[in-house]
Structure 1
Amino acid sequence: MNNIVSYAKEHMESFDVRPLNRVDSLILSELSYFQLPQELSKARGWRGVRLAELFRAECFEQMFDGVWDGESCRQLLTALSASPRFRDIHVMGYREQSNVADEKQFAAVTFRLSKRLFYVAFRGTDATPVGWKEDFNMAFQYPVPSQEAAAAYLNEAAFHCRGRLLAGGHSKGGNLAVYAAANCGKRARKRIEKIYSHDGPGFAQEVLESDLFQAVLTRIEKTVPQSSLIGMLFENQEDFTIVKSRGIGLLQHDPYSWVVEDGDFTYPDRLTADARYLDRTLNQWIRSLSQEDRERFVDGLYDLIEENGIKSFTEIRDDWRKNIPALVHSVTHMDEDTKEFMQRSLKELAAMSFQNITGIFRGKRGEETGVRRGAEKITEHERKQESKQGDK
């Protein structure tokens, strides 16, 4: 399969010869998911440790614990540790924070790519319920604790790293990278050359229109798979580029499914029809809820997870036949007021889904003929594509 692992095996040039690109950024973003044990404590300091020194079999169990695709992560680390392009990168400033009371899940790490070039990577959502709870909180809370932590970490990294700065992340990590770049100190912000958001959720309109975000928007490179759901959450997005994925539906969020050929991603022309349909439905539903109702729904969902004693979302994945029905059944044990609210909210989502279902069929016909149909929002990417077609 041509993906980030095969890229790491094949491309061995230094970053001076082959400058960092989007694929490299996704690889470094994926490394931020690795949990570095105390045996690798040098990675927590700012002198750091060579990336190749992370390749320690006795650390693998802890390093990949709770990571969604541990086997692919191991293959990636193996390829990176052998590659002259990656093995001498210094891993430094590793931080990991989780606080259930504050509903905070945050981690970040910095990579020294060369003497004067540094990449600050922010971890996306891990498998813990508190990590997902903080993600859901983004629907009604701004900033969330990990966003504030990201800005503070970027300031710390800028202080210790004298040179050019890059920032990025996958999923929530991409959102954190954009927030941190916009909200860090002025001196640090001026040194940031690019911000990479790989399928990271967007922001509210008033946030993107603020002076802080306007100051960095032209430096943001956002990539989303053609059936993106996570990266298209919230109504307003940074300009984005669509990449091809071998996954299906939500599984396209997996960075190992993104297709890499000839040293770069493969780029389809537009989002798939089903992605536009789902994105429109979910964002419409989110907008229909008040801030108070969004918070109430998220808290109710989180209560169901706690009631069932679920400690990790990998538990749901590994035994979904048991856990999914248990979660659904738990709704019947809620107090009547909460149960009625949760059921009503889900019915409204189902109704909007039914209203929008014709959009997916219109979209498919539009894709087949090259003609755009339906009333869905035209993204900046699609405007550019349609403009090119018009020029031809």
Structure 2
Amino acid sequence: MYKILDYVKYYKNISFNDVKLNVMDNLIGSILAYLPVESFDGDKTLAEFAKYAQEFRDIDTSSVMVPYAYQVLDEISNGRRYRDIVISNLENIKNDKVQFGALTIRINDITMVSYKGTDGSLIGWIENIRIAYDYLTITQNYAVKYLEKTIRDSDKIIYLNGHSKGGNLAMVSGMEASFSILQRIKKIYNFDGPGFRKQEYESNKYQVLTKKLVNIMPSGSLVGVLLYNENYNVIKSEALGFMEHYPTSWAMFGQVFIGSDLSGLSKQLHERTTKGIELLDLEKAKVTFETLFKTIEKEYSSSLKINFNDVLTIYRNMKNIDPDIKEYIDTIIAALVRNNYDN
């Protein structure tokens, strides 16, 4: 079964004139967004960017995607297809309040904005949880401002994409885009990123995006099924459990993903985080989670592997936790544990 690295190796010497930009090229942008390089403004050719990125190759990071991002960069740097791309306005920001990353790729007359997913830091995971009870979060605001900053009047055809949290940020930036930018957006690719609360899902801003939106998730998705969304394309992954989330395991042939059916567990998670969350008092949920975060005795910006059994122990020891919220958390964590997330 072929995967994204096979696509890169096979198509890297086939020009965009011969094979048009497609979903796989957008996935490549989403993977490159994980590169742990320092922010820069302005433009870099692919050769300049590849040389710049090497300076950060040995950085210690807990992100699963970083090694794959470098593999992709190495491959595209040695072929004709991507030779003339320009990478612009890369942002990588991480502190105790936000973890955000994005880059812009220009290919001929096409502009592709790629948003970074969670990098393994504690603040990155905290932000993922906040999406369930807040809008716009700090990170989502960063995404909106980034799009406004990076898009030029000369950009005629725009693609937005991102993996995991990056997919949610791609959707948010499209929802909040000015009319001038919105009318130039051709497609938004959300690669297994979470959706929205019901109020955002039912908003006019979201409905305007639906014709442009493509949600891609593996059959055992534990992230893309969270909260409200639509236009799902369920695909086959060769990994198991939470590892299905990583796009390097997704099966494809040529320029097309191989389809599959959503697992029963994924359907359960979707049900629990949509209809189930409607029963919750979101303000109480916010207070509960924010209190939980304060009990974690680690720097928010630190890189670590999240152990959900530890989180479970923390909130079980909390007093006066709302029973409905506790049941909601139990469902999600139990599902993650059953999928051997900690292995």
How does the TM-score come out when normalised to structure 1?
0.76
Aligned twin of 2:62: 66
Work out whether residues 161 and 189 of structure 2, in 8 Å CA contact, stay in contact via their aligned partners in 1.
yes
Distance 1:169 1:348 in 2: 27
Q: 1:123 aligns with which of 116, 119, 137?
A: 116
Aligned twin of 1:3: 3
Distance 1:300 1:119, change over 3 A: same
Distance 1:82 1:164 in 2: 26
Letter of the 2:44 counterpart: G
RCO higher in 1 or 2 (8 Å CA, sep ≥ 6)?
A: 2
Q: 1:260 aligns with which of 252, 259, 265?
A: 252
Cα offset for 1:70? 3.6
Unmatched runs of 5 consecutive residues or more in structure 2 = 336-343
Residues 250-300 of structure 1: CA distance to partner in whole angstroms, max 9, x if unpaired? 2211111111222321112x2122221233234454333211221133224
Distance 1:348 1:148, change over 3 A: closer
Q: Which has the larger radius of gyration?
A: 1
Correspondence 1:47 to 2:46: no
Q: 1:341 aligns with which of 306, 321, 325?
A: 321
Distance 1:342 1:301 in 2: 13
Work out whether residues 304 and 327 of structure 1, in 8 Å CA contact, stay in contact via their aligned partners in 2.
no
The 5 A counterparts of 1:58-137 are: 58-62=55-59, 65-100=61-96, 103-114=97-108, 116-137=109-130
Work out whether residues 8 and 83 of structure 1, in 8 Å CA contact, stay in contact via their aligned partners in 2.
no
Aligned twin of 1:389: none
Work out whether residues 66 and 312 of structure 1, in 8 Å CA contact, stay in contact via their aligned partners in 2.
no
Residue 100 of structure 2 aligns to a residue in which SS? strand
Cα offset for 1:350? 4.8
Distance 1:69 1:177, change over 3 A: closer
Residues 312-335 of structure 1: CA distance to partner in whole angstroms, max 9, x if unpaired? 45344xxx6xxx666555557x5x
Distance 2:189 2:165 in 1: 12
Cα offset for 1:109? 0.5
Unmatched runs of 5 consecutive residues or more in structure 1 = 357-392
Q: Relative to total residues, which structure has the larger helix share, 1 or 2?
A: 1
Aligned twin of 1:22: 23
% identical aligned pairs: 27
Work out whether residues 37 and 92 of structure 2, in 8 Å CA contact, stay in contact via their aligned partners in 1.
no
The 5 A counterparts of 1:117-266 are: 117-159=110-152, 161-234=154-227, 236-266=228-258
Work out whether residues 104 and 114 of structure 2, in 8 Å CA contact, stay in contact via their aligned partners in 1.
yes
* Structure 1 vs Structure 2 CA RMSD: 2.9
Work out whether residues 272 and 328 of structure 2, in 8 Å CA contact, stay in contact via their aligned partners in 1.
no
The 5 A counterparts of 1:320-335 are: 330=314
Work out whether residues 308 and 326 of structure 1, in 8 Å CA contact, stay in contact via their aligned partners in 2.
no
Distance 1:233 1:325 in 2: 20
How does the TM-score come out when normalised to structure 2?
0.86
Residues 123-170 of structure 1: CA distance to partner in whole angstroms, max 9, x if unpaired? 112211111111111111111122222122112222265331111111
Distance 1:45 1:88 in 2: 19
Aligned length: 333
Distance 1:352 1:23 in 2: 30
